[in-house]
Amino acid sequence: MQTIEFAGRQVPAIGLGTWYMGEGRAPRSQEVAALRAGLDAGLTVIDTAEMYADGGAEEVVGEALVGRRDDAVLVSKVYPHHASSDGVRRACERSLERLRTDRIDVYLLHWRGTHPLAETVAGFEALVAEGLIGSWGVSNLDAEDLRELAAVPGGDACVTDQVLYNLARRGPEVEVLPAAAAAGMSVMAYSPLEQARLFETRGADVLEEVAARHEATPAQVALAWCIRSGNVLAIPKSASVELVRENAGALRLVLTPEDLADLDRAFPAPPGPVPLEML
């Protein structure tokens, strides 16, 4: 099973995303069942945010973790406009209530806003000191932002940067992934399947060909590609028990040099730096 060092612990390199959960797109019981199935399959990292469904996704996660809190590594994110030193505390306390827990394992700045990074870091560090969060990180920060963060007092405690990264969005490979590795932090890849749009793009036929070689699915190939470096944690979202189990199967899929070459031709990396993309 492909694992990754994440926030000081070894975890499977595929976790559970929750973007769009809690919005009524699927029955709540189905979303809860999917998360529990992921835990059963060994997918220990659950990623959520106060933004998702205005806290509704955190409530789904909280229900899924009843009696199973210690099975999960829980990640949530704070809005940029809540990221003052006092604001992060209030936001964190609200998230803890929705999540039905006394701690968030990794707490992220969702994207950069108007509050200075130094102020946000100070707020995060105070939460760490009180045991409300285990560690902290960032999301949607580019390489220049990471360098600025590293210069802030306490900024070197950042454990991860969560960015949009998949076969169709390879920009982070140019600067973000190397910057994160140099800083000793992991990268979390959100929308690693491009919200299923990967399977409708030019190159989808190559995904199917590679999958056929391994008796796997295109989604498993795309996830195995995403985590291939050993420093990326992919967090696909699914409200389907069956698809969550399928995603977990990608942890045991090893792509060959031929597979990787074919995927490179179908989904080429950018020749140079590109602005960090967001969904």
Q: Are strands 133-139 and 160-164 parallel, antiparallel or unpaired?
A: parallel
Nearest to 245 by CA among 16, 27, 48: 16
User: What are the residues whose beta carbons fall under 8 Å from the beta carbon of 138, sequence distance 6 or more?
Assistant: 108, 109, 112, 145, 146, 149, 158, 160, 161, 162
**Alpha helices, H only, 14-154:** 28-40, 56-64, 85-99, 117-130, 143-150
- List the catalytic residue out of 52, 107, 165, 190: 52
Decide if 52 is catalytic: yes
Neighbours of 261 (CB within 10 A): 11
**What counts of helices (H) and strands (E) characterise the chain?**
10, 9
Q: Is the dihedral of CA 175, 177, 180, 182 positive or negative?
A: negative
Catalogue the active-site residues. Answer: 52
